Chain A
Amino acid sequence: GDSVTQMEGPVTLSEEAFLTINCTYTATGYPSLFWYVQYPGEGLQLLLKATKADDKGSNKGFEATYRKETTSFHLEKGSVQVSDSAVYFCALSSYGQNFVFGPGTRLSVLP
């Protein structure tokens, strides 16, 4: 079945550092790919998405590119802030149903 693998962390960075969180997937079809963010005590919020190969999703300075050849969707941000501290989940969905999530990566950004 479909699956998502991502670095589990925790990842600790200083403010203004560059962030990369790796995500790779296995899927039989052509899934849509997502990054969700979870702040403490809250539900998951969509951060960005890409629905086909070579699409780049972006939001709040975060970016990820759908790479079909490497089955990857790595999350990047050029300069992280303390407010970016959260848990980040990579996910896929085939045909808008049956979402599959990675284990989550906890990010802590220190001032």
Chain B
Amino acid sequence: NAGVTQTPKFQVLKTGQSMTLQCAQDMNHNSMYWYRQDPGMGLRLIYYSASEGTTDKGEVPNGYNVSRLNKREFSLRLESAAPSQTSVYFCASNGGLGNTEAFFGQGTRLTVV
């Protein structure tokens, strides 16, 4: 009964380094999302994927890329990390049209120094 699984849980990067955040869901959901959470700003959508093979930009996509590897997995890549990308990142999924609520992973706390 895993739901949405994110790895890693914590990460420290130096400015300019790259990394990929992994996300997998086992609920056969069509739609997957990446959010970042910053104090006082709620959750802001970075990218989403409405179905396997499609991805779209959200509110704050700059500095990020995504890959919808298959129906289960949706990864987020930082090519050249910046201190402004210090945040908590959440992956979420839902069934798509007609299936309303989103299910969230436990989050990845990323610090860029």
Contacts and interface: CB of A to CB of B under 8 A. Distances in A.
Pair from one complex = yes
Interface of A: 4, 8, 32, 34, 36, 42-46, 49, 51, 89, 93, 95-104
Contacts, number: 62
Contact of B42 (A45, A46, A97, A101): A101
A58 to B, nearest CB: 15
Given A97-B48, A98-B48, 4 more contacts: A46-B101, A93-B100, A99-B45, A101-B43
Interface residues of B, number: 27
Contacts of B35: 101
Contact of A96 (B41, B42, B96, B106): B96
Interface of B: 4, 31, 33, 35, 40-43, 45, 48, 50, 90, 92, 94-107
B97 A34 contact: no
A96 B107 contact: no
Nearest 5 Cβ contacts at the A-B interface: A43-B104, A103-B42, A101-B43, A44-B104, A101-B42
A44 B90 contact: yes
Contacts of A8: 40
A46 B92 CA distance: 12
